[in-house]
Amino acid sequence: MEFSPACVTLQETKLGDSSYSSPHGYHGVYSTSFPEQGHHGGTAIRVRQDTPIVPFSASDSPQNIRSLY
């Protein structure tokens, strides 16, 4: 049985500053760890290539985010 989820999220990845690769058919968005800020692990989001994504900043206002869609 095969699965191809639209999105896979990972936390506490501890990937560091190395280069990343996503599985075939997926885009990757990564956040590395920032121990000096109290963040001990990174995050990764893998999104299937046929799934539309719209990047935005977490500091954007709700009105700005709504305008992206």
Q: How many CB atoms lie within 10 A of CB 61?
A: 9
Q: Where are the domains of the chain?
A: 7-68
Give the helix/strand (H/E) hosting 29: strand 26-31
Nearest to 9 by CA among 36, 40, 43: 43
pLDDT at res. 12: 77
- CA 19 vs CA 14, 22, 28: distances in Å: 13, 10, 11
pLDDT at res. 48: 93
- Asked if 60 contacts 54 with a C-beta cutoff of 8 angstroms, the reply is no
pTM of the complete model beyond 0.85: no
pLDDT at res. 39: 60
Per-residue pLDDT of the chain (69 residues; tens, 9 = 90+): 688 899 988 887 776 555 667 788 998 887 776 666 666 677 888 899 999 887 777 777 888 777 776
